[in-house]
Chains A and B, each alone.
Chain A
Amino acid sequence: MALTGLQIFKQLPKTNCKDCGHPTCLAFAMALAAGKTSLDKCPHVSEEAKEALGAASAPPIKLVKIGVDQTVVELGDETELFRHDKRFYHPTAVAILVEDTEDIAARLADFNDLEFDRVGLHYVTDMVALQCTSGDAATFKAAAEQVAANTDKSFMLICEDAAVMEAAAEAVAARKPLLYAATNDNYEAMTALAQKVECPLAVKGNGLADLAELVDKITKLGYKELVLDSGNRETSQVLADLTQMRRLAVKKRFRSFGYPTMAFTSKEDAHEEIVQASVYVAKYAGLVVLKAHKKEEILPLLTWRQNLYTDPQKPIQVEAKVNAIGDVTPDSPVYITTNFSLTYYIVEGEVENSKIPAYILPINTDGISVLTSWAAGKLTGEAIAKALEENEMEAKVNHKTLVLPGYVAVLSGSTEEASGWKVLVGPREAAGIPSFAREHFAK
């Protein structure tokens, strides 16, 4: 069970030395209780205290790593049930299923291409899930080697026959693949193998009660690099299972479920898989395995993951420098907006829709939206004047007229005064830009 800040405080040196980065031992204890720091930040804590606090101060869900180097996939270490309470940390890893009977090189070429650029962000499909469909140790091993040779990304090996798994796992152990899975029937051999090759191990239960028992048996054998699968495949039950695992780990510190979770889609149709996987991304899967593999299918899923895992307290920003949309000329209009990514890209989309090339100048408002930044005094006539100057807008266009977002029409006077530019008040909503542009800028 979780300890309170005061219970933790009693075990600390109480010297207020600040070596942990907190002003007092009490502040450090409170941060520990809230899961915001770890005990190892205190260099002076006694061994007894470490033991007493160790279990309680361990993160509710262990961080588990799959793979190596730059493409290592980190799962778990989550502390919340709802992103609005703080944030989610380690985005659900997306793994694409490939069978060892397929043309591995061709499938991997496709897989490696599953990366996307949108709104200034780069989305990556994290993993390959290689399934032993052949049932043959040599085939599976050769396929695993081919996967390792054909991608830098992390991968997992799916095979419940420990002997078949062993050949493949040993061949690619240096890449630290996730081994799927330990079950009631094979857990001793699978755990021994995972220990030997030092790879993370998936645990597949037969429902949650069975899974908890199986996890305990494996941790008793001394292995804790685990990823949990309830074994269920029906959307409704998997949602229930993932919710219980997260809840028990975070709210009850139930150690048997203190590991990242995973889920498999069960649909044959790729579109249905994306919908099913979107449920599991929303509700707590650390890793989701699916067969869908086309760009138009994976992009919506990765976008949803990106949205969900953004920090609610830190808006995503774009660089506060002028951007030319389309084939701009010195006659092109100049739109002002803020550097809040969402605001900027909505404006950019509508300026594109207007089919009239233009400059968009995002003002640095620390990534907050138009009205909020105006209220906070970050979007001001002076800030706009400074941005016009820094971006040398006078040299780029042959006019001195800017379009101000309709919501901050009130800034017209101060903007004109500070910059010497004429203000044209634009629409309040970006959706109004195309008709506004046609009215004012169409030749």
Chain B
Amino acid sequence: MAFSAMKERYRNKINEVVLGATKEEGGTRGYTVTVGGESALPFLHFEGEIPNRPIVALEVWDVAPTDWHESFTTYFGDVFDNPAQWAKKCVEEYGADVIAVRLKGADPDVADASPEDCVKVVKDILAAVSCPLIVLGCGKAEKDNQVLPAVAEAAAGENLLIGSAEQENYKSLAAACMVHKHSLIASSPIDINICKQLNILITEMNLPAERIVIDPTTAALGYGLEYGYSIMERARIGALQGDKMLAMPILGNVGHEVWRAKEANISAEDMPGWGEQPSRGFLWEATTATALLQAGMNIVVMRHPAAVALVKQNITELMKPTSFEE
């Protein structure tokens, strides 16, 4: 039988979300970065538009991490104590498209940094790099509700991407993003209904859908990656088929999950059957990211420069147009 390519035509496309704002737009960024906008499943250029490539964010912490694998010292040891320099290095040497500032120090069990301390770190990083920023809280809702609105206010107009809003805790963050002109990450616990519901709740507060990015929860390779993968894939298919409350670009906290896995960290001496740690570690991160990019992830938050290089190269290759001779 003669081959004739089968092309899906979708009714909807993914929202385009802009990160950052230039001087003309009320911020101080040197440039903005746009994610989303695709009208096809990941990288299937033959049947739809994929106007923006997925982007890679490198994590920068407000405090020097004490629990990162020692192999990170080679890359960041000289800047761990200086978030602004750390961010600069990520952009200039390791190819980060944007910086994801994680305010880990705000955690009462880490350094219990005050909202003022956190604001200063974000301001310093804004001054040090010209790329857009993602700002992530410490993960403890009570503290994040103090810290993130303060950051939003101090950086008003910068169009940060701030996270995370959750089903039980979205109002103060959504309001802060509304008032101070930022975008918001809405996270849901591997549950497509909650993902959708949260988007409805946030848009009902009048934050435009084009300022929401969803984080449907990422799991690391070997630790439930398939659950995160399938939820992302389902959300993306639902969005393309017309569900506007799922049509947000997707963010994945890849590095954060991966580097908790034993497989990324354990030495070859302790686990001889698994090979050498350095490449096993960054391949664990790169493979997790590569898999999720195939499910629709638009923003990959990563840690290891070697993994970033691999993933960025993979994205470049996958962005090459495809066609069929018939």
Chain A partners chain B: yes
A residues with CB within 8 A of B:
82-84, 116-119, 207-213, 216, 234-237, 239-240, 243-244, 247-248, 251-252, 254-256, 271-272, 274-276, 278-279, 282-283, 294-297, 299-301, 303-304, 306-308, 310, 312, 342, 345-346, 349, 352, 431, 435
Write the B311-326 contact mask toward A (1 if CB under 8 angstroms, else 0).
1011001111110111
Q: In the complex the two chains form, is A349's CB within 8 Å of B283's CB? A: no
**CB–CB B280/A296 < 8 A:** yes
Q: Which residues of A contact B224 (CB under 8 A)?
A: 307, 342
Docked complex Cα distance between A82 and B240 (Å): 15
Contact B310 A283 (CB under 8 A): no
State A359–B89 Cα separation when bound (angstroms). Answer: 44
**Cβ contacts under 8 Å, B286 to chain A:** 271, 274-275, 300
Total contacts A-B at CB 8 Å: 173
Q: Is the CB–CB distance between B324 and A240 below 8 Å?
A: yes
User: Could you say which residues of chain B place their CB within 8 Å of the CB of A352?
Assistant: 262
CA distance A297 to B324 in the complex (A): 33
Which of A211, A236, A278 touches B287 (beta carbons < 8 Å)? A278
The interface residues of chain B lying within 8 Å CB-to-CB of A282 are: 229, 290-291, 294-295
B222 neighbours in A (Cβ, 8 Å): 118-119, 303, 306-307
Q: B: which residues have CB within 8 A of A?
A: 1-3, 5-6, 43-46, 109, 221-226, 229-230, 233-234, 237, 260-263, 268, 273-280, 282-284, 286-287, 290-291, 294-295, 306, 310-311, 313-314, 317-322, 324-326
Q: Return the contact of B109 from the options A209, A252, A306, A435 (Cβ within 8 A).
A: A435
Indicate which residue in B43, B226, B277, B278 contacts A310 across the interface (CB closer than 8 Å): B226
Instruction: Report whether B44 and A307 are in contact in the complex, using a CB–CB cutoff of 8 Å.
Output: no
B262, A243: Cβ atoms closer than 8 Å: no
Q: How far is the CA of A137 from the CA of B238 in the complex (A)?
A: 54
A280 nearest in chain B by CB position: B294
Bound: A210/B2 CA distance, A: 9
- Residue among B44, B230, B273, B291 making CB contact with A243, cutoff 8 Å: B44
Q: When chains A and B are docked, how far (Å) is the Cα of A387 from the Cα of B146?
A: 44
Q: Are A237 and B314 in contact (CB under 8 A)?
A: no
A-B contact pairs, 6 of them (CB 8 A): A82-B230, A236-B319, A239-B322, A271-B306, A300-B280, A306-B222
CB-CB < 8 A to B310: which residues of A?
A: 271-272, 275
Residue numbers in B under 8 Å from A251 (CB-CB): 6
A244 pairs with B6, CB closer than 8 A: yes
- Chain A residue numbers with a CB within 8 Å of B311 are 275
A307 pairs with B3, CB closer than 8 A: no
Q: Using Cβ atoms and an 8 Å threshold, which residues of chain A touch B291?
A: 278, 282, 304, 307-308
**B283 near A274 (CB under 8 angstroms)?**
yes
Q: Which of A210, A244, A297 has the most CB of B within 10 A?
A: A244
A84 lies within 8 A of B324 (CB): no
Q: Which residue of B lies closest to A301 (CB)?
A: B287
Could you say which of A209, A297, A435 contacts B325, with CB atoms under 8 Å apart?
A: A209
Task: State A208–B1 Cα separation when bound (angstroms).
Answer: 12
Min CB gap B300→A, angstroms: 13
Chain A neighbourhood of B287, CB < 8 A: 274-275, 278, 300-301, 303-304
Contacts of B278 in A (CB 8 A): 296
- Contact partner, A209, options B225, B279, B295, B326, Cβ 8 Å: B326
CB-CB under 8 A from B318, the residues of chain A are 235-236, 239, 279
Instruction: Report Cα–Cα, A209/B323, bound state, in Å.
Output: 11
Q: Provide the bound-state CA to CA distance between A208 and B109, in Å.
A: 58
A207, B325: Cβ atoms under 8 Å?
Answer: yes
Residues A235 and B263 in contact in the complex (CB < 8 Å), given A84-B230, A240-B46, A346-B223 = no
Residues of B close to A82: CB separation below 8 A: 230, 233-234, 237
Question: Which residues of A sit under 8 angstroms from B44, Cβ to Cβ?
Answer: 239-240, 243
Please report the C-alpha to C-alpha distance between residue A343 and residue B5 in the assembled complex, in whole angstroms.
43
B294 adjacent to A279 (CB under 8 Å): yes
C-alpha gap A345/B314 in the complex (Å): 30
CB pair B279–A271 under 8 Å, yes or no, is: yes
Contact B273 A83 (CB under 8 A): no
With A300-B221, A307-B225 given, is the CB distance from A236 to B45 under 8 Å? yes
Tell me the smallest distance from the CB of A139 to a CB of chain B, in Å.
31
B237 x A299 contact (CB < 8 A): no
- Shortest distance between the CB of B270 and any CB in chain A (Å): 10
User: Beyond A116-B274, A239-B43, is A278–B226 a contact (Cβ under 8 Å)?
Assistant: no
**Distance (whole angstroms) from the CB of A372 to the closest CB of chain B:** 11
The answer to whether A234 and B275 touch across the interface, beta carbons within 8 angstroms, is no
- Nearest 6 CB-CB pairings of A with B: A296-B275, A295-B275, A296-B280, A240-B322, A212-B3, A282-B294
Q: How far is the CA of A251 from the CA of B5 in the complex (A)?
A: 12
Please give, as numbers and ranges, the residues of chain B lying within 8 Å of A207 by CB-CB distance. 324-325
- Report the minimum CB–CB distance from B147 to chain A (whole Å): 20
**CA A352 – CA B221 in complex, angstroms?**
19
A256 contacts across to B, CB distance below 8 A: 1, 3
Residue in chain A with minimal CB distance to B317: A235
B272 to chain A, nearest CB (A): 9
A279 / chain B contacts, CB cutoff of 8 Å: 290, 294, 314, 318
Closest Cβ of chain B to A216, distance in Å, is 7
Closest to B277 in A: A296
Please name the residue on chain A nearest to B289 by beta carbon: A275
**A193-B276 Cα distance, complex, nearest whole Å:** 43
Say whether, besides A278-B290, A345-B223, A208 and B234 are in contact (CB < 8 Å): no
Complexed CA–CA distance, A352 and B321 (Å): 47
A299→B263 contact, CB < 8 A? yes
